[in-house]
Amino acid sequence: MSRKPFIAGNWKMNLTRAESVALAQGVVNGLGGVSSGVELAICPPFVYLDAVAAVVKGSQVGLGAQNLYFEGNGAFTGEVSAAMLTDIGCRYVIIGHSERRALLGETDSVVFKKTRAALAAGLTPIVCVGETLEQREQGKTSEVVRSQFLGSLGELTAEEAARVVLAYEPVWAIGTGKVATPQQAEEVHADLRQLITSHFGQAIADGMRIQYGGSVKPDNAKELLGQPNIDGALVGGASLKAESFLGIAAAAV
């Protein structure tokens, strides 16, 4: 089964409003070099979603958020619900990014609840898993990724799982300039594909897209995206410049 490549830019906590609008405009203006068969999304900070939504409306570029809360509404000061995201024009949301797991204490059970809330609202969740350098050096990559996968997604129904995008992001390769070799990345992606198969069945595994995240750049994108089980990229630093983000997107054919 052919899976549509999906490139998403995670802007994290960067840029001003004016810079965000300019970056989004630069991405939209540069779409001529990107195949229409590639799915694209950009994920600005919450406070700039509205401004960026206006720029990407009607284009090939979808709007995503970097997080949400699993409750629908109520006394949850500082949180943002799935309904708020869809109301502002979001189609995607990143859930369980390693920075949120490591720095902000998000657990697998919280990631699961957020994923289910996103799905219930019609959002496409990009659910992240990945190991630290210490865990990789201890030979625990497979164990850690399996545990995160089962804890974050294991209780979904097959129908729900079919609407999830998975992102493998080795923590040691995020923002460090270190990149998993295409072979290292493919090995984990293949393991994840097998996990999906055993848990949700062959049809779901054949259809679910697994992005790679971790210092993806235009010069390494083609080889990474050329691996059989790597279906796109969750791009951090390189998504903060239109030229480099579009360069990665152009490699996804």
What is the spatial distance between Cα 150 and Cα 225, in angstroms, rounded to a whole number?
A: 25
Show which residues are catalytic.
97, 169
Please tell me the predicted confidence (pLDDT) of residue 29: 98
The pLDDT averaged over each successive group of 10 residues in the chain (253 residues) is 92 98 98 96 98 98 98 98 98 97 96 98 98 94 97 97 97 84 96 98 98 95 97 97 98 92
Question: Phi/psi of residue 64, each to 5°?
Answer: -130, 160
What is the spatial distance between Cα 222 and Cα 198, in angstroms, rounded to a whole number?
A: 29
Share of the chain above pLDDT 70, in %: 100
C-alpha distances in angstroms, 236 versus 59, 95, 112, 211, 226?
A: 21, 14, 23, 12, 20
Give the chain's end-to-end CA distance (angstroms, integer): 15
Please tell me the predicted confidence (pLDDT) of residue 1: 54
Closest CA to 42 of 240, 208, 243, 244: 240
pTM above 0.95, yes or no: yes
**pLDDT tens sequence across 170-221:** 998 888 888 789 999 999 999 999 999 999 999 999 999 999 999 999 999 9
